[in-house]
Amino acid sequence: MNKVEHMVRETTDRDLVVILSICEAAFDSEENLPGLVKNLFEDETARPFLSLLAFEDKTAIGHILFTHATIGKTVAALLAPLAVIPEYQNRGIGGRLIQTGCAMLKNAGVEVVFVLGYPDYYQRHGFVPAGRHGMHTPFPIPEQNADAWMVRELVPDTIENICGILKCADAINRPEYWRE
């Protein structure tokens, strides 16, 4: 049996069409995630950002985007979105993108990563509820979704020393993106 090769690499400008098609395949069309991703790529306030593609053999099957953010004086990143083509989901691709991205961000001096997503999934990858630690979204989220706002510490002992409201890229700094 042949072993399937998975590779993760940083994206280039030539990858945008593939990235948008992965987002379109992975998410409900009502969410318009491809539009958000395109806007984030064009948004100077999102920089520096980290964009990674996952491949199975030579087929692009997943994408993750981390954009620049801050909370107080802490250097942060916002993970939004993580997308894996449906037929490749539940194979560890998303987790590999998260782990690779977080390692690269840590090496670049980022201290924490935030995400608004499914708690059961992201907690398996080292995220904890951020609101409980005094870190808040740019816009209020429904109380029943409070645990969906999560943070992952990249530099030890950072979480206990920060609090406040996340400042994120202009393209995602709109109320409709904060309704989990």
DSSP line for the chain: -PPPPEEEEE--GGGHHHHHHHHHHHS-GGG-HHHHHHHHHH-GGG-S-EEEEEEETTEEEEEEEEEEEEETTEEEEEEEEEEE-GGGTTSSHHHHHHHHHHHHHHHTT--EEEEES-HHHHHTTT-EESGGGTEE-SS---GGGGGGEEEEESSTT-GGG--EE-B--GGG-SGGGG--
Closest residue by Cα to residue 62 from 39, 92, 41: 92
Number of other residues whose CB lies within 10 A of the CB of residue 124: 12
Q: What is the pTM of this model?
A: 0.94
Phi/psi at 170 (nearest 5 deg)? -55, -40
- Residue 85 near residue 22 (C-beta atoms within 8 A): yes
- Residue 50 confidence (pLDDT): 98
Phi/psi at 178 (nearest 5 deg)? -115, 20
pLDDT < 70 regions, the chain: 1-5, 29-31, 180
- Residue 29 confidence (pLDDT): 66
- Residue 180 confidence (pLDDT): 58
Task: Tell me the C-alpha distance between 114 and 150, whole Å.
Answer: 6
Closest residue by Cα to residue 127 from 105, 99, 165: 99
Question: Rounded to an integer, what is the distance from CA 152 to the centroid of its chain?
Answer: 11
Closest residue by Cα to residue 147 from 120, 125, 126: 120
- Residue 1 confidence (pLDDT): 38
Task: Tell me the C-alpha distance between 49 and 110, whole Å.
Answer: 11
